[in-house]
């Protein structure tokens, strides 16, 4: 059975965003992020012509990931789409995917190269593993964006808590899978990253595909040529990223980078934190404050010792990044008290939410090394 493309803005529908509201206007202002979030959804769940990862498998996995992240409305959406879609799937293959999805949802920093090998043994090829990981990470992002929209719009949310979320554990092995020196602590230094499955060689992309990679500056990156195994999804993801982080007005860029750093600490992603902590430091000129954040030990509160505005932003980004997310109306009230507008809160939320996506790819398809 072939599915029709869903042209309705899914997040607008599931978050019950009131037409003409400040939230609706903020999403219109961030049109690129809004359109390409929807475009990512449509690209990942666009039909049943992929023999290596069927639509039925995708929808079933998405339903489970949404439930693990505490979003029953999103889970029900995927369950409803699954009704009537053909394909029972191979039970061992599907179970391997569900195990991968649960790991990426709750403990992405626990993933290893051996887990990807297990997927291969269960019948998942390299291209399908990349799409599988993109799907899980994308639904993780969807749940957090939806929660933030509901909170901003005064809609009820589940699993709400005002309790501060502590930093997660991270890998401290000291050596990568290939034997390179690996960072044991969070750092603002530049790091390298190596994949656990082969990145696609540039020569294996056709001329048009190479042009797409070049347009985004991805040609020389192992990471992006790995994600290029599903280039349409990578393209929509990159455009979503640019729509969230590279837009004028709203939240200062330094605080968007701060949110990315917080999410990376919650998920235990040393590589992403190194990139975005460094950017936050460069833009804010508050290198010591950023270092204090990334030095926070597992279980420690990331906002401790920060300015009131950064405390409110860090606590919200951390609660939004937990699995399942716990961000509450109190977090929104604290942001309002610090003078953040609706557009600025949307920017903050989408910046943190995007790293629910980015971290889960970086942590589970490869690992950092000391460059």
- Mean local confidence (pLDDT), 24-41: 98
Strand partners, 366: 195
Q: What value does the mean pLDDT of the chain take?
A: 94
pLDDT tier, 8 (very low <50, low <70, confident <90, very high otherwise): confident
Q: Which of 75-79, 291-295, 308-312, 367-371 has the lowest mean pLDDT?
A: 367-371
Residue 267 has pLDDT above 50, yes or no: yes
Cα–Cα distance, 331 to 39 (Å, whole number): 29
pLDDT tens for each residue of 178-198 = 999 999 999 999 999 999 999
Q: What is the pLDDT of residue 52?
A: 85
Q: What is the pLDDT of residue 347?
A: 98
Q: What is the pLDDT of residue 84?
A: 78
Residue 4 has pLDDT above 60, yes or no: no
Q: What is the pLDDT of residue 1?
A: 32
Q: What is the pLDDT of residue 5?
A: 36
pLDDT tens for each residue of 113-144 = 999 999 999 999 999 999 999 999 999 999 99
Q: What is the pLDDT of residue 15?
A: 97
List own/partner pairs for 71-76 with CB under 8 A and 24 or more apart: 71/142, 71/143, 71/146, 71/147, 71/158, 71/324, 72/158, 73/14, 73/146, 74/14, 74/139, 74/142, 74/143, 74/146
Q: What is the pLDDT of residue 88?
A: 61
pLDDT tens for each residue of 211-244 = 999 999 999 999 999 999 999 999 999 999 999 9
- Mean local confidence (pLDDT), 308-327: 98
Cα–Cα distance, 140 to 358 (Å, whole number): 10
User: Given its phi and psi angles, is residue 267 left (phi above 0), alpha (psi -120 to 50 degrees) or beta?
Assistant: alpha
pLDDT tier, 49 (very low <50, low <70, confident <90, very high otherwise): low
**Contact of 34 with 28, CB cutoff 8 Å:** yes
Mention every residue, 6+ apart, whose C-beta is less than 8 A from residue 117.
none
Cα–Cα distance, 195 to 90 (Å, whole number): 27
The domains of the chain are located at: 17-370
pLDDT tens for each residue of 68-124 = 999 999 999 999 999 978 776 568 899 999 999 999 999 999 999 999 999 999 999
Work out whether strand 191-195 and strand 366-370 pair parallel, antiparallel, or are unpaired: antiparallel
Neighbours of 179 (CB within 10 A): 8
Q: Percent of the chain scored above 90 by pLDDT?
A: 92
- Mean local confidence (pLDDT), 289-293: 98
Residue 288 has pLDDT above 90, yes or no: yes
pLDDT tier, 204 (very low <50, low <70, confident <90, very high otherwise): very high
Torsion angle in degrees (nearest 10) through CA of 222, 353, 115, 274: 50
Q: Which two tokens stand for residue 175?
A: 């050596």
């Amino acid at each position: 059975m072939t599915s029709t493309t869903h042209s309705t803005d899914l997040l607008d529908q599931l978050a019950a965003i009131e037409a003409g509201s400040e939230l609706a206007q903020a999403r219109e202002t961030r049109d690129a992020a809004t359109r390409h979030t929807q475009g990512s959804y449509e690209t990942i769940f666009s039909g049943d012509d992929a023999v290596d990862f069927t639509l039925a498998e995708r929808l079933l996995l998405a339903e489970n990931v949404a439930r693990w992240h505490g979003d029953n409305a999103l889970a029900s959406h995927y369950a409803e789409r699954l009704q009537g879609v053909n394909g029972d799937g191979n039970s061992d293959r599907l179970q391997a995917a569900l195990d991968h999805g649960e790991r990426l949802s709750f403990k992405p920093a626990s993933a290893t190269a051996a887990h990807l090998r297990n997927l291969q043994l269960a019948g998942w090829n390299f291209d399908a593993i990349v799409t599988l990981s993109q799907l899980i990470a994308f639904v993780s992002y969807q749940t957090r964006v939806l929660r933030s929209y509901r909170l901003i719009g005064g809609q009820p949310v589940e699993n709400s808590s005002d309790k501060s979320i502590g930093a997660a554990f991270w890998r401290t092995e000291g050596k990568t899978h290939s034997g390179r020196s690996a960072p044991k602590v969070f750092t603002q230094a530049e790091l390298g990253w190596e994949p656990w499955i082969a990145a696609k060689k540039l020569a294996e992309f056709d001329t048009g595909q190479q042009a797409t990679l070049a347009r985004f500056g991805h040609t020389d990156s192992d990471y992006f040529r790995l994600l290029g195994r599903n280039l349409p999804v990578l393209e929509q993801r990159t455009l979503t990223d640019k729509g969230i982080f590279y837009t004028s007005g709203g939240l200062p860029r330094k605080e968007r980078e701060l949110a990315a750093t917080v999410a990376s600490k919650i998920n235990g992603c040393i590589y992403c934190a190194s990139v975005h902590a460094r950017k936050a430091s460069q833009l804010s000129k508050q290198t010591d404050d950023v270092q204090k954040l990334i030095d926070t030990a597992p279980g420690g509160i990331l906002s401790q010792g920060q300015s009131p505005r950064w405390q409110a932003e860090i606590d919200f980004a951390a609660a939004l990044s937990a699995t399942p997310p716990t961000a509450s109306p109190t977090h929104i009230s604290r942001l309002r008290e610090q003078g953040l507008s609706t557009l600025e809160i949307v920017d903050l939320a989408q910046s943190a939410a995007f790293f629910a996506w980015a971290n889960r790819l970086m942590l589970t398809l490869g690992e950092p090394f000391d460059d």
